[in-house]
Structure formats: C-alpha cells, structure tokens
Structure 1
Amino acid sequence: MVRIIYINISLMNECLKLKRFIEKSLDNRIKWQPAHFMPEHRAMLNRITIDDKKQKKPQLDEHEFEEIGYIVMESLKCTIPIKVTIWKDGFFMFRTGIVDKVDMLMKYLLLESNGELLRISIHEITAVERI
C-alpha cells in the first residue's frame, strides 16, 4: 500500500513538471490569428460564439408561478407598472410596462409599454417584479 501511494505521488509530480514545461514553451511561441477565408467559416464561428453565450431556461416551481400570477393580476387590475423577465432562444430580455390583457386560453399577455402593446407568451416568462 505504501508503494502505491509513493508511485501515485511521483506520477503527479512528473505530470506537474510536464505541464509547467508545456505552458512555458507555449508562452514563447508566436500566436497566430486564424484566417477567415470563407464566409461560411465566419458564419459558423459567429454561430458557435452565440451558442456559447446561451443560457438554459430556469425551471419555475409552483410557488414562483403563483407569485408571477399574483403580480400580473395586480398590474392588470390596479395599473401598476411591472418588469417582466422573458427567456427567448437562450437569452433573457426585460420588458417594463402595465398589463393590458391576460388571455389564458391562448396563453399570452399584452403588456403596454411606451404606447405599444407587446404580446408575451406565458411560457416565456421567467420572473415578474413590481417597479
């Protein structure tokens, strides 16, 4: 058992020495920027960077759904401005305004913001807060 521990420690030391050597040698090399010869290549790289920035949609529990419903209905009845957080295609967006209409059959709400009516799907809403 003592020999196994000794071997593992010596292997770890050798790996650390090798890692330091590689990092040191890479710092001395010239780093070249990749060439973008084809438009498809540039589009693919742009798509990859956008996909890396995307976030997963948060899963809301029953209590959060109740809280969202309560604040939305309060804004509808009392014309209180709210801030709605929307998740769409991996990104979060924020909209502020007053709820004008809630349609539970079609599952959307109309938010009046700066004189415009914004149609927001209920499935896209991740958070709602009073302003």
Structure 2
Amino acid sequence: MAYLDEMMDHQLDLLKVRDRGSKKWVAMMLPEHLKLVREYIDEQKKTPRPELNEWDLDIIQENIQIAMKRNVEVEIKTWKDGAFIFHIGKFIWVDLNRRKIEMEDVFKSFVLQLDDIVDVTVLD
C-alpha cells in the first residue's frame, strides 16, 4: 500500500513539470541552420509556375483582343517568384516586340511582362 501511495505522489510531481516545447531545441541550433530551415519552409510554400499549352495561350490572346476592342476592365493573373498576383484594370497599349503590356486602374498605371501572364478574364 505504501508503494502505491509513493507512485501516486510521483505521478502528481510529473504533472507539475512544464515542458518548453520546441523552445528548448532552438537554443541548440546555429543561426546558419535556422536560416536554412526558414528558407526551406519558404521554398515549400511557393507555387510552381503553371505550364500553358497552345490552347491556353490562344484564350489569353483572344481575351486581350476583346478587352482592347471593347475598352473594358480585365483581371490579369500573373506568376512571379512562386506566387500568383492579380491585377485589375484597362489596357493602354500592348508592345509585342518588347513583350510588355501597359494597364491602368483607378489609382495608377503599370506595366506587365507578357511572359508572366497565366490568365486573363474579361470583366463586363
């Protein structure tokens, strides 16, 4: 019976222990190692560039032509450094030689690279 009471006291003492979780391991890691781990995590979060086939490129071209003729707003989806960026605005000009598009929204005008575009949606 005394042994059982001693075991119960021991279990109660274990409940008082506070574990610091991963904090205790961070102190043992070198700054260079932490940097590499963070870079690896950031790299895993990136989205791969979508592969566009001929059909996708034709649809993008048609939507650009329609938007320029109608002078309507478009939503352009671009891919840069592993992330998608959305732009909304109207076309000002398209330069196929330099492969650039200039657009304007209500606040400013901006230039996009044709090679970065992965989708164009005409907003009516």
Same fold (TM over 0.5): yes
1:83 maps to which of 75, 81, 90: 75
Alpha-carbon separation, structure 2, partners of 1:114 and 1:42: 43
Is 2:46 the partner of 1:54?
yes
Q: Aligned residue for 2:61? A: 69
Q: How does 1:5-20 map onto structure 2 within 5 Å?
A: none
Q: CA RMSD in A?
A: 1.9
Which string of whole-angstrom CA distances, capped at 9 and with x for unpartnered residues, describes residues 37-95 of structure 1? 65544433332221001111111111111111111122222211111010001111111
Q: Which fold has the larger relative contact order, with Cα–Cα distance below 8 Å and residues 6 or more apart in sequence?
A: 2
Alpha-carbon separation, structure 2, partners of 1:81 and 1:58: 24
AA in 1 matched with 2:107: G
Write 1 or 2 for the structure with the bigger share of helix.
1
1:92 maps to which of 71, 84, 97: 84
The alignment's TM-score, normalised by the length of structure 2, stands at: 0.72
Q: Could you tell me the percent identity over the aligned residues?
A: 22
Alpha-carbon separation, structure 2, partners of 1:62 and 1:47: 35
Is 2:104 the partner of 1:125?
no
Q: 41-50 or 90-99, which moves further after superposition?
A: 41-50
Aligned length: 102
